[in-house]
Structure 1
């Protein structure tokens, strides 16, 4: 392997080392370890923490009516957990699919070309991985809104009764809920109507980064994880819930990791989910394993060598010596031939008869 690498380094333009095996499965020489957003490995997506937080929560319809976040928090936590789980499944499937493909190379690749080729392939796989998930997810959201399905939380539509006297029988109607007093956004017209999330009882306290709206899923996607980076915000949630506040320790997300993260605390959950919560695909490639699979038996190369003065002098001397031998053989014969030609013409001149007229 070292000899082949040296040849490729010294004669990079012309070196050719044919592979005995031109199609090599990627899993023979690379390992991939995906890393996900830290929310997916935090206590906030566990059933234990969610169940303890909402253990004594009741009268949900009341909290829906007054727009209190207590009506949404359980659904939001379940949805985040589901998004994380589905993202992990999708990414692992993408990794398995990528590893099952083959690297096709007729010639042994140099180390630089080898790593560059793999990085390009992995980058393409990472870009394509969310595509299927995002399309299916968006289709489900569109169908849900298009069918006008009423949320079990009653957050998009509500029942109202009307009675027109003197009639005794009341009419039960379904009425669209309105969010955002400034724009009067109707859930019947769109599922993305939002209000800032807040606890409204006993006092109004806004929760940073979080929203409520027509559907818990849509309001969560428009939210951020800012609150989960802030211990004061987490304490605010715990203090307004009625569950056991002391059993499960809920540490805030590590904001020091933000500098190495693809996402800021104020990145919307929709954008993070669209990237399948991926932080990084760590790839470890082994060139020595690739070389073993390629198994080149021979390497061919060509080069142009510039003649040195010694070589030039030797060549000229050799040429001079060759000319000497040739001339030594031909010179006597050329002289002899010249004399014969001269004698021939002299004899011919003597035999000429010149007539004289008297």
Structure 2
């Protein structure tokens, strides 16, 4: 038998099988063509839906992300930064110590007004202003009449500022930064900046309160 005829015969058998394939035959077998046709249609619908479901499951499994937890014990800073650059959303790094004092990693730099660091508030300058010959008579409108007391008051204000800042820094450095996990560097920077701004504002308020107390006392 020629190969072409064999292929044609196999094709006809396949077509006949597909047309007559029935997964839901009735018992006893259907006695009319209508019931038999319904059973074959149900078979085709079932196989079609089953194929669609299998394709969906196959696609889902192929694109599903498989989560794998990898633990790196005591990583160095460079290792942590490398891992964070690759897995910024999923990386977690628990801290050995959940609290650390600000003085361990924060340094507040400040500078006083030039007047508070000048010779105008020095003891030598104040003594010089208050020392003049006994035979010299000063009038009220003479600068030398009140200059000594004015610069003493200015020095007292500078000392008050220095003390308020020193006390504030002691409290600030003694405070603790709390975190159970290592936080992203950008978030850490923003939190430290917020703490520094809060410290500066609180120090200003403390000095203003002290100044008001001095004014009320005088």
CA gap 1:60/1:137 in 2 versus in 1, 3 angstroms? farther
Residue 100 of structure 2 corresponds to 24
CA gap 1:59/1:114 in 2 versus in 1, 3 angstroms? farther
1:117 aligns with 2:155: no
- Correspondence 1:1-358 to 2 at 5 A: 1-56=77-132, 63-64=139-140, 67-144=141-218
Q: How big is the shift at 1:82?
A: 1.1
Q: How big is the shift at 1:132?
A: 2.5
Residues 60 and 71, structure 1, Cα contact 8 Å, conserved in 2: no
Q: How big is the shift at 1:78?
A: 0.6
CA gap 1:61/1:17 in 2 versus in 1, 3 angstroms? farther
Q: How big is the shift at 1:128?
A: 0.1
Q: Deviations over 1:253-275 (max 9, x none)?
A: xxxxxxxxxxxxxxxxxxxxxxx
SS at 2:90 equivalent: coil
Residues 5 and 110, structure 1, Cα contact 8 Å, conserved in 2: no
Q: Distance in 1 between the 2:135 and 2:215 partners?
A: 28
SS at 1:3 equivalent: helix
The alignment covers a number of residue pairs equal to 142
User: What is the TM-score of this pair, normalised by structure 2?
Assistant: 0.58
Q: Distance in 2 between the 1:16 and 1:104 partners?
A: 16
Q: Deviations over 1:200-241 (max 9, x none)?
A: xxxxxxxxxxxxxxxxxxxxxxxxxxxxxxxxxxxxxxxxxx
SS at 1:36 equivalent: coil
Q: Deviations over 1:310-341 (max 9, x none)?
A: xxxxxxxxxxxxxxxxxxxxxxxxxxxxxxxx
CA gap 1:27/1:139 in 2 versus in 1, 3 angstroms? closer
Q: How big is the shift at 1:83?
A: 1.1
Residues 19 and 105, structure 1, Cα contact 8 Å, conserved in 2: yes
CA gap 1:61/1:141 in 2 versus in 1, 3 angstroms? farther
SS at 1:56 equivalent: coil
Higher helix share: 2
Q: How big is the shift at 1:84?
A: 1.0
Higher strand share: 1
Residues 23 and 105, structure 1, Cα contact 8 Å, conserved in 2: yes
Residues 90 and 133, structure 1, Cα contact 8 Å, conserved in 2: yes
Residues 44 and 50, structure 1, Cα contact 8 Å, conserved in 2: yes
Q: Distance in 1 between the 2:90 and 2:142 partners?
A: 72
Bigger RCO (CA 8 Å, 6+ sep): 1
CA gap 1:58/1:76 in 2 versus in 1, 3 angstroms? farther
Residue 72 of structure 2 corresponds to none
Q: Deviations over 1:137-188 (max 9, x none)?
A: 21332343xxxxxxxxxxxxxxxxxxxxxxxxxxxxxxxxxxxxxxxxxxxx
CA gap 1:46/1:57 in 2 versus in 1, 3 angstroms? farther
Residues 50 and 77, structure 1, Cα contact 8 Å, conserved in 2: yes
